């Protein structure tokens, strides 16, 4: 049986850690690619990961390269390439630089892996996913932004901390763009099956929501010289697993929505069923008036970002 092949574009902290999680979970063979200017760094990181396999007991062929031909016929491609956020920098500040990077990467993916499912991780996430689909011309089910998995993980973490319970017993759902306008649905948040609205006061819940929205920025401030990578990489690996193992996970992802939620042709975070071939179904939820207003605000923020991006290209 042919093993799945996942190529990770960009071997910085997020890319290398995504490779680590994927290898440890034995999700198939892995190619780590970076630009020629990085020299032999992709080869070094891939060899280091390979040498860890006899200790951690995972079986995968891990290849480092600067040549896109080595990524040919990938089942999944994860785009982590791009400039990370630095202190004082918003995701929007990254737009100009990362649009050019994602355009170049997408052209190569189209050439070498025309049947791949693409997971976009670089920021500003929703706009970069939109650009990836524009350049590759792939159907919408095969271009997916990694945002909701990370955002829900942050919210679940904060809920578990607040309640003093295991993160395994917390559940959450978030919609909208990846950033300050994301929409955590309190009606879907629970701990051990108990709605969090019955366990945590509204004022404190809103503080946890605000911390979730600012989760990436909080880590940027703490690190001072970089941005989050363990959790973003784990989120990307979970999406890779759902695809290559056809797990049909019901999770929030940034996907192209047209009539769904009346979005009108933009990438936005919504619940989807993720499995073989990418997005198998978009789940439309009935939102209350408060949730609907917040969601529309988030969609408008994404639209503005995409319009700015299209002026660049």
Distance between CA atoms of residues 83 and 75, nearest Å: 25
CA distance 166 to 31: 34
CA atoms of 17 and 23, how far apart (whole Å):
10
Residue 137 has a CB neighbour count (10 Å cut-off) of 10
Which H helix or E strand runs over 305? helix 289-312
Widest distance between CA atoms in the chain: 55
Give the DSSP letter string of 174-199. EEB-SSTT-EE-GGG-EETTEEGGGT
DSSP H helices in 69-141? 95-112, 125-136
Annotated active-site residue in 45, 178, 249, 303: 178
Report DSSP letters for 34-79, one per residue.
--GGGTTHHHHHHHHHHHHHHHHT----EEEES-GGGGTT-SEEEE
Active site residue 20: no
**What SS3 state is found at 139?**
coil
Between CA 169 and CA 188 the distance in angstroms is 13
- Residues known to be catalytic: 178
């Amino acid at each position: 049986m042919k093993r799945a092949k996942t190529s990770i574009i960009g071997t910085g902290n997020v890319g290398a850690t995504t490779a680590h999680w994927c290898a440890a979970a034995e999700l198939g063979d892995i190619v780590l690619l970076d630009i020629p200017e990085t020299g032999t760094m992709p080869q070094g990181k891939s060899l280091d990961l390979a040498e860890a396999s006899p200790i951690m007991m995972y079986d995968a062929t891990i290849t480092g390269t600067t040549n896109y031909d080595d990524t040919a016929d990938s089942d999944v491609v994860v785009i982590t390439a791009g400039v990370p956020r630095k202190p004082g920098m918003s995701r929007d500040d990254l737009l100009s630089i990362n649009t050019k990077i994602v355009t170049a990467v997408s052209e190569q993916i189209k050439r070498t892996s025309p049947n791949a499912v693409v997971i976009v991780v670089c920021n500003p996430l929703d706009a970069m996913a939109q650009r990836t689909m524009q350049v590759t011309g792939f159907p919408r089910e095969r271009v997916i932004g990694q945002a909701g998995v990370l955002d829900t993980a942050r919210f679940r973490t904060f809920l578990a901390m607040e309640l003093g319970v295991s993160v395994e017993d917390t559940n959450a759902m978030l919609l909208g763009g990846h950033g300050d306008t994301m929409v955590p649905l309190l009606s879907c948040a629970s701990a051990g099956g108990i709605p969090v609205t019955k366990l945590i006061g509204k004022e404190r819940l809103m503080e946890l929501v605000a911390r979730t929205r600012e989760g990436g920025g909080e880590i940027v401030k703490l690190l001072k010289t970089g941005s989050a990578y363990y959790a973003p990489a784990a989120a990307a690996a979970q999406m890779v697993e759902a695809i290559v193992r056809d797990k049909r996970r019901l999770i929030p992802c940034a996907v192209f929505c047209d009539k769904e939620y009346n979005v009108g042709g933009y990438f936005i975070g919504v619940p989807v069923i993720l499995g073989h071939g990418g997005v198998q179904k978009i789940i439309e939820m009935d939102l209350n008036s408060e949730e609907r207003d917040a969601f529309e605000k988030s969609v408008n923020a994404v639209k503005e970002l995409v319009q700015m991006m299209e002026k660049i290209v």
